[in-house]
């Protein structure tokens, strides 16, 4: 593809993303890109990479770009299309001057970026004279967050708000979790480096490896052999907090696609029993292939009808360890999913907080006396984290926070991991 065709594709994709959000479908951006590339198989891997990079940069900086467009773009409608954002991004990033941008369509290709209109040319010329960030920008535009989330973010980060949000707008590293059922971290590090994947041990997780840069890691023979899974270091730390032992009975209450289930199985040396539950059959269906590849055979999968499924009663007070990786806003994953902050609403937050409360209450019944209950989210908002735990403890005096380090708070700006929260609780005799 020509540079012009790549830019046109990015513009079209942004239009599709914005249209979906406006219609309240709010599909994830990564799914929409995958679908677009699937439908247009002529787009090569390098072209896909370039198109995706531009789209995601725009989504990361959407509030900043929108502020500049409001300032300089003369339109009767407040709606901004993908083309406007692309022009602003290319000029503000100094990737194209207004003059070179104006020549993009001259190759005559059907897929090319159309010639700039007079108003677009004027917009580009104005943007060429300024920097991406501007001192007089309001905080939400400079730090790229939805205005309605301002109070929640300030509550979470206080005077570290700017550092936190700047870090949350960067690209996340790629972390791997070593499958200790098949290898060790030192052996895997050596083997991956031999394959040409430059990597180092993660600083926090004793079973983690971090790639020096993005790479096609799924082509590794060691992935095919089940020696590792791609998993953020913060997620690894949450699984380790469960402190599951060989021979124990463990319930992963919101198992999803099984990332933490696999980590727990390795901790337990494939001994004992793990019950992996979720209300999403589609997500749980992904576990079986991963279990086989990892050599895990102590997991039983079950689809729940809801968090209050009558099936749960059969396992009351039966588990040594219970993990509640609760549904959440996903605010801790903004580095990976920058579109999430724009398509998540106050209504969504209210709903997810209510679900968290219900899920935690239901899952707590599964914990035996003396057992451990870990409540976790990939959110940075206190209303989903500490406040949920405080409310739970108030209503459930037969639980307490563990005496040593009961809370785990990980953030991109302090730990260079996704934002994660976890609370470690213990069930007391009644």
**Triad 160, 211, 56: Cα angle to 5°:** 60
Q: How many CA atoms lie within 13 A of 78 on its CB side?
A: 2
pTM over 0.85: yes
Question: In this predicted model, what pLDDT tens digit does every residue of 324-361 receive, in sequence order?
Answer: 999 999 999 999 999 999 999 999 999 999 999 999 99
Lowest mean pLDDT among 74-88, 280-294, 358-372: 74-88
Q: Are 276 and 255 in contact (CB under 8 A)?
A: yes
Question: In this predicted model, what pLDDT tens digit does every residue of 381-415 receive, in sequence order?
Answer: 999 999 999 999 999 999 999 988 889 999 999 99
Q: Are 371 and 427 in contact (CB under 8 A)?
A: yes
* Architecture label for domain 3-140: Orthogonal Bundle (1.10)
What average pLDDT score do residues 85-112 get? 84
Q: Per-residue confidence at 107, pLDDT binned at 50, 70, 90?
A: low
What average pLDDT score do residues 170-181 get? 97
What average pLDDT score do residues 69-94 get? 83
d(CA 306, CA 231): 27
The class that CATH gives domain 237-427 is alpha beta
Domain regions of the chain by residue span: 3-140, 175-230, 237-427
pLDDT of residue 207: 98
Q: Per-residue confidence at 109, pLDDT binned at 50, 70, 90?
A: low
Q: Is the pLDDT of residue 111 over 80?
A: no
Q: Are 359 and 324 in contact (CB under 8 A)?
A: yes
Q: Per-residue confidence at 427, pLDDT binned at 50, 70, 90?
A: very high
The rounded percent of the chain whose pLDDT value lies above 70 is: 97
Residue 328 annotated among the catalytic residues of the structure: no
Q: Does domain 175-230 have CATH number 3.10.580.10?
A: no
* Candidate list 199, 254, 328, 378, residue with the active-site label: 378
Task: State the Rg of the chain over Cα.
Answer: 24
Q: Is the pLDDT of residue 76 over 50?
A: no
């Amino acid at each position: 593809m020509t540079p012009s065709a790549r830019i046109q594709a990015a513009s079209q994709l942004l239009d599709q993303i914005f249209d979906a959000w406006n219609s309240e479908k709010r599909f994830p951006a990564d799914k929409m890109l995958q679908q677009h590339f699937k439908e247009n198989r002529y787009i090569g891997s390098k072209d896909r990479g370039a198109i995706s990079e531009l789209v995601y940069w725009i989504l990361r900086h959407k509030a900043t770009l929108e502020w500049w467009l409001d300032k300089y773009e003369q339109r009767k409608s407040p709606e901004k299309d993908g083309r406007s954002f692309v022009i602003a991004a290319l000029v503000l990033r100094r990737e194209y001057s207004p003059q070179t941008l104006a020549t993009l369509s001259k190759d005559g290709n059907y897929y090319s970026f159309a010639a700039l209109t007079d108003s677009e040319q004027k917009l580009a010329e104005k943007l060429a004279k300024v920097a991406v960030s501007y001192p007089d920008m309001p905080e939400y535009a400079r730090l790229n967050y939805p205005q309605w989330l301002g109070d929640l973010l300030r509550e979470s980060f206080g005077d570290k708000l700017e550092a936190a949000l700047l870090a949350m707008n960067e690209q996340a590293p790629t972390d791997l979790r070593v499958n200790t059922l098949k290898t060790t971290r030192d052996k895997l590090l050596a083997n991956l480096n031999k394959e040409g994947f430059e990597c180092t041990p993660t600083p926090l997780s004793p079973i983690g490896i971090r790639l020096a840069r993005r790479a096609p890691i799924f082509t590794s023979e060691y992935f095919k052999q089940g020696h590792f899974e791609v998993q953020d270091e913060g997620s690894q730390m949450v699984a380790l907090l469960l402190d599951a032992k060989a021979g124990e009975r463990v319930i992963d209450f919101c198992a999803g696609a099984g990332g933490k289930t696999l980590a727990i199985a390795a901790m337990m040396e494939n001994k004992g029993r793990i019950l992996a539950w979720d209300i999403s059959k589609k997500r749980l269906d992904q576990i079986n292939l991963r279990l086989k590849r990892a050599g895990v055979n102590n997991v039983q999968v079950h689809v729940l009808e809801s968090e209050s499924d009558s099936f749960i009663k059969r396992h009351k007070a039966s588990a040594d360890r219970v993990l509640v990786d609760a549904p959440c806003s996903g605010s801790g994953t903004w580095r990976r999913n920058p579109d999430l902050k724009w398509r998540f609403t106050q209504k969504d937050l209210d709903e997810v907080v209510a679900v968290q409360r219900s899920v935690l209450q239901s899952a707590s019944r599964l914990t035996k006396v003396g057992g451990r209950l870990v409540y976790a989210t990939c959110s940075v908002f206190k209303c989903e984290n500490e406040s949920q735990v405080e409310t739970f403890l108030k209503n459930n005096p037969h639980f307490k926070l563990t005496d040593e380090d009961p809370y785990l708070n990980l953030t991109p700006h302090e730990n260079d991991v996704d934002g994660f929260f976890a609370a470690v609780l213990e069930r007391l005799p009644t």
